[in-house]
Structure 1
Amino acid sequence: MTEKIIVGVTEASGSRRAVDWAAARAIARRQQLELIGVIGGAVGNVGEGSVLEAAWAATQELLNEEAERVAADDLVVTTRVESGNPVSVLTDASEHAALLVIGSDYRGPGDGPARGSHGIRIAAASASPVVVVPDFEITGERSGVVVGVDGSPTSEPAIAFAAAEADRLGEPLTAIIVWTPIATPRNAVMVMPQAYREGMEQNARESLALSIAGLRSQYPGIEIEEAVAEGYPSAVINELAESARLTVVGSRGHGTVRRLLLGSISHEVLQRLATVTAVVR
């Protein structure tokens, strides 16, 4: 695994936010930064060569401008223009990256429909962790890193990533596990037995404790909060994320087929980004 952060760059404002986020992390972690612009849509039509040439030049100019904008003495920035399907190009590039960062045009709840089809596909297929940066300001009023835990091995890389980021940022870490009661028809007259609810909560609490065991000794300098909640995981995670600097979720995608799919929770979290969000496999 290389110590290089790759950023997919476009003209969108969300892309600029992604470059800024990636540059700050690269400097803090002493990593290199590579900016990639992708030209899509070429099909080999007559006269397409001149159009492609112009697009290539404009994309390279955009990358140069972004590289110059985030230039710093302790940051190595390279640029690369590729042609093809952006999802395929970026996921292929992730094979040689420590982290892939992309921007989203989603501007928060109440501002248009959910976004993220490209981001979801990239996060599902990427060989490296993917960070998706929404198109709104993550203000200084926000604090902390939130990580979703489900007690399965899927959570382990996400927890490790979240703890390392909390330590890097000097921010508290909230590890949240959500238990969901058995679904019943809406018109069913049913009261959940108290013993059932208490048992579900206790099982969740024990699962969470096992999942984060050892973190406090590994990162003695960060504050770690264990949170257990009843509800639907993506809704609970995004509610916490509204006041956080970073959210981290795991992905169930793996193998030649399943790596094209995200787990439903990470999929739903990415559709309605509440903050900068990392998907870690």
Structure 2
Amino acid sequence: MSERYIIGVDGSEHSKKALAWGLARASERHASVELLHVADDSFLSESVAFLSEAQKASEQMLAAESEYAKGLGYDGPISGTAVVGHPIAEVEEASKRADLLVLGAHSGSRFAGSFFGTRAVKIAAVAHCPVAVIPAEYEPRENGPVVVGVDGSEGSKKAIAYAAAEASRRGVPLVAVYAWMPPLTPGLEYLWSEELVESQRSAAEEAIAIGVAGLAERYPDLEVRREIVQAAPVSALVQAAEDAALLVVGSRGRGGLTRLLLGSVSHGVLQALPCPTVVTRQ
């Protein structure tokens, strides 16, 4: 059964970048594509007339983006959904029927319909499938490595599995990055000795070893590079992914309202976006 991609569109140049990325990936993997446009009803009157006009505008936007997709040379099947509602809630619901959700990254707008961007952080926190966020300035780096963040958590194990499959399919190296920083509690610097630093490094090496265990058997031709960096995790991942084709990070995957807490590392990476970034689900 083929994968199903949902690509968020809003008519902006940023979403067009995400659309091009998503269509190229769908073409390579023979995935089905659904375009999704949500007219944000936050600033609309609740009258039937206003909502009807908003729905009509949403459908017109979707039709225009579908034509744009065809203009990119994509000849696969494209379906579309145009709705009026709360963007986060509508996209979360749509993600239940997707294998990958693709969004553009930009600052967004208060106007109805233009929402993919800063809200990508919140969407990544609540989505039921992996979320790919594409930076506006992105240029394809087909031969770049796939970078993945490792921290020993269950979330990072899912991220490693996803990243390894990506790297193997692309025929590029997998770069597993473990970043750590000593506690910065003022006045306690004296507690840090060479022995403690070495202990932390040993823990990092163990976490990476556990994280990549089994990859050699599953992907015998996959080159795995291990990087242990004494730096803030976000800056370490962003720097490692400067020339990458893809960056993969895990989410907390917690339930209820706490799902809005994506995690400081995932959140920070999505704010910086050195390359297309996928947030996996725990």
* Alignment correspondent of 2:202: 202
Secondary structure in structure 1 of the residue aligned to 2:248: strand
* Alignment correspondent of 1:39: 39
Q: After TM superposition, give the deviation of residue 123 of structure 1 in Å.
A: 0.1
Q: Equivalent residues in 2 for 1:1-281 (5 A)? A: 3-41=3-41, 42-45=44-47, 47-48=49-50, 51-52=53-54, 54-73=56-75, 75-105=76-106, 116-140=117-141, 143-185=144-186, 190=190, 192-281=192-281
On the 8 A contact 1:149/1:211 being kept in 2, the answer is yes
On the 8 A contact 1:147/1:175 being kept in 2, the answer is yes
On the 8 A contact 2:35/2:62 being kept in 1, the answer is no
Q: After TM superposition, give the deviation of residue 194 of structure 1 in Å.
A: 0.7
On the 8 A contact 1:67/1:79 being kept in 2, the answer is no
Name the aligned partner's letter for residue 27 of structure 1: S
Supply the distance in 2 between the matched residues of 1:103 and 1:210 (Cα, whole angstroms).
33
* 1:145–1:49 Cα change, 3 Å: closer
Q: After TM superposition, give the deviation of residue 271 of structure 1 in Å.
A: 1.1
Secondary structure in structure 1 of the residue aligned to 2:46: coil
Cα deviation, 1:91-126, whole Å, max 9, x if unaligned, reads 1100010010000027xxxxxxxx953011000000
* Alignment correspondent of 2:110: none
Name the aligned partner's letter for residue 203 of structure 1: A
Name the aligned partner's letter for residue 272 of structure 1: A
Cα deviation, 1:44-67, whole Å, max 9, x if unaligned, reads 247525632541342132232233
* 1:94–1:194 Cα change, 3 Å: same
Moved more, 51-60 or 81-90: 51-60
Secondary structure in structure 2 of the residue aligned to 1:96: coil
Name the aligned partner's letter for residue 63 of structure 1: E
* 1:132–1:189 Cα change, 3 Å: closer
Supply the distance in 1 between the matched residues of 2:221 and 2:275 (Cα, whole angstroms).
24
Supply the distance in 2 between the matched residues of 1:69 and 1:4 (Cα, whole angstroms).
21
Name the aligned partner's letter for residue 265 of structure 1: V
* Alignment correspondent of 1:109: none
Cα deviation, 1:140-191, whole Å, max 9, x if unaligned, reads 4871110001011111111111111112222211011112212222x76637
On the 8 A contact 1:247/1:276 being kept in 2, the answer is yes
* 1:53–1:217 Cα change, 3 Å: closer
Supply the distance in 2 between the matched residues of 1:221 and 1:28 (Cα, whole angstroms).
21
Name the aligned partner's letter for residue 55 of structure 1: A
* 1:95–1:135 Cα change, 3 Å: same
Supply the distance in 1 between the matched residues of 2:48 and 2:81 (Cα, whole angstroms).
26
Supply the distance in 2 between the matched residues of 1:252 and 1:226 (Cα, whole angstroms).
23
Moved more, 40-49 or 251-260: 40-49
Give the paired residue count: 271
Aligned CA-pair RMSD: 2.2
Unmatched 5+ stretches in structure 2 = 108-115
Name the aligned partner's letter for residue 57 of structure 2: A
Percent identity between the aligned chains? Answer: 38
Runs of 4+ displaced beyond 6 Å: none
Secondary structure in structure 2 of the residue aligned to 1:146: strand
Q: After TM superposition, give the deviation of residue 83 of structure 1 in Å.
A: 1.0
* 1:138–1:151 Cα change, 3 Å: same
Unmatched 5+ stretches in structure 1 = 107-114
Name the aligned partner's letter for residue 212 of structure 2: I
On the 8 A contact 1:138/1:245 being kept in 2, the answer is no
